[in-house]
Amino acid sequence: MMRRRRKGRIVKWLLWVFGVIGAIALALALIQIDDVVMAQGIVEPGDKIFINSPMSQDIHEILAEPGDSVIAGQPVARLYDGNLRAAAATAEQEIKREMANLEAAQARLALLRAQPTPEEIKIAESRVEQARINLTARQQDLKRAQALYEGQRLFSQEDYERAKTNYDLAEASLKVELENLNLVRRGPLPAEIQQAEAAMRQTQASLDKAKHNLEAAHEALERATLRAPVNGVVARQDLYPGMQASQGAVVMIIAGEGEGTVIGAWMAETSAWKVRPGQPVEILSNLFTDREGFIGQGEVSEVHGYAVIEGNVRTFGLEVAVKQTPIALSFGSTADLRIYVGRRSILQTILGWESNTQFNQVKSSIESFQALQPDTINTPQPDTINTLQSDTIDTPQPDTINTSQPDTSSNK
C-alpha cells in the first residue's frame, strides 16, 4: 500500500515537473524576439571620388586639406613639373628649328626649279655673307653662355640650351645658303630637285612630330595640376608635399555632395544568408564611450554576393546607408551594426534554430531571382535550396549558406 502511494506521488511529481517544463517551453516558443545579425564596418562617404596621380612625380603642393570644401574644377594638388616645363621648352625649340629647316628646304627647292639670273647670284652671295656673320655672332653668344653656365652659374640651363640652339640654327643656315649659292651658279640637276622635294617632305614630317611633342608636353603640364571633378569635401589625404606619387597612386579622397554617408561593413558567413537590402540597422559608433546612448539608424543598401577571406576567416561584405545619427559620424571611424533581419521565438534562439518564416522569405527571393535568369543558372538551384531547408533546423551548414548567398544578395 505504501509503495503504491509512493509511486503515485512520484508519478504526480513527474507529471507536474514535465508540465512546468512544457509550459515554459511553450511560453518560450510563443514569445517572439528580434533576430539580430551583428556586423562591423567603417564610415565612408556615399560618393567617394579618388584623386589619383596621372604620372610618377613628386607631390609639389597640396591646395585642399581634409575638411576643406571644393568645387568642380578647383585645383586640389600640384605635382612637381620642372622636368615637364623643360620638355615643353625643348619641344618649342624643336619647332623653331624645324620651321627654319622647312623654310630653307622650300627656298632650296624654289631655287632649283627657277633659272638663276645675275641678280639672284648676287643675292645668294649676300645671303651667304649674312649667314657667316650670324654664325659668328651666335658662336660668341654660345661661348659666353657656356662660360657663365659652367663657371659662375649666372646662366640657367634653359638659357644655355637656347644659345646652343641658336648656334645650331645659324650653322645649318650657313650650310644651306652655301649649297644654294652653288646651285645658283651651276644650275640644278633633276636628281637634285627630287632630293630637295624629299627633304622638304621629311622636314614637314619632323615639324609635325615636334608640334605633337609640344602638345603632349602641354597636356602633361595640365595634368600635373590635380583638380576636383565634383563639388564636395576633402575626406582624406594620403600623400604630402615631397612624397613620391607613383602613377595611379591615391593622393586624396573627396566626398561628393548629396550622396550622404555609408558604412562599408562585413559579417560572418553563417548569418549572411539572412541579410537583405532594406532591413533596418542600429549603428553603435566607436566614437562614443556610451554607445547605447548615441545609437544611429541606418538601412542595408547593398549585400555583396561573394565572400572575402582574410586570415582564414570568411566574411561577406555589405553597405549600410546612414539615415540618422545624434552627431555626424567622422569618415574612417568604426562602428558595430545591429541588423534586424526578422523575429523568432526565444526557444529557437536558445536552440539555434532558424525561423521557418524567414527561411521561406529567403527561398521566395531566390526563386524570384531564378525566374529572371537563364536556364543554365536555374538548373542547380533547387537541390541547393532543399539541402538548406533540411539542414537549417539542426545546424546551419557553411557550404549551403555560401551557395545561396549570391542569389539572395543579388535580388536587391
Flag whether 185 is in a domain. Answer: yes
Residues 103 and 70 in one domain: no
Cell numbers describing residue 255: 566626398
- pLDDT-based confidence at 356, cuts 50/70/90? low
Kindly report the average pLDDT of the chain as a whole number: 79
Residues 141 and 73 in one domain: no
Q: Of 335, 339, 328, which is closest to residue 303 (Cα–Cα)?
A: 339
Residues 376 and 397 in one domain: yes
Residues 75 and 194 in one domain: no
Task: Provide the pLDDT for residue 48.
Answer: 86
Last residue of a domain, one of 255, 275, 303: 255
pLDDT at residue 66 is higher than 80: yes
Task: Provide the pLDDT for residue 252.
Answer: 93
User: Cβ contacts of residue 184 below 8 Å, gap of 6+?
Assistant: 111, 116, 120, 121, 124
Residues 203 and 102 in one domain: yes
Contact 336, 294 (CB under 8 A): no
Structural domain span for residue 215: 82-223
Instruction: Please tell me whether the overall predicted TM-score, pTM, comes out greater than 0.85 for this model.
Output: no
Flag whether 37 is in a domain. Answer: yes
pLDDT at residue 293 is higher than 80: yes
Q: pLDDT of 155-194, one tens digit each?
A: 677 888 888 889 999 998 899 888 888 877 776 677 878 8
Residues 278 and 139 in one domain: no
Residues 274 and 313 in one domain: yes
Q: pLDDT of 201-232, one tens digit each?
A: 999 999 999 999 999 999 999 999 999 999 98
The enclosing H or E element of 71 equals none
The mean pLDDT value for 47-64 works out to 92
User: Cβ contacts of residue 105 below 8 Å, gap of 6+?
Assistant: 196, 199, 200, 203
- Tally of domains within the chain: 3
Flag whether 18 is in a domain. Answer: no
Flag whether 8 is in a domain. Answer: no
Task: Provide the pLDDT for residue 370.
Answer: 47
The mean pLDDT value for 5-33 works out to 70
Q: pLDDT of 296-315, one tens digit each?
A: 999 999 999 888 887 788 89
Q: CATH no. for residue 308?
A: 2.40.30.170
Residues 242 and 281 in one domain: no
Task: Provide the pLDDT for residue 377.
Answer: 41
Task: Provide the pLDDT for residue 115.
Answer: 63
Last residue of a domain, one of 178, 202, 223: 223
CA dist list (Å): 276 to 181, 219, 280, 299, 391: 88, 47, 10, 10, 21
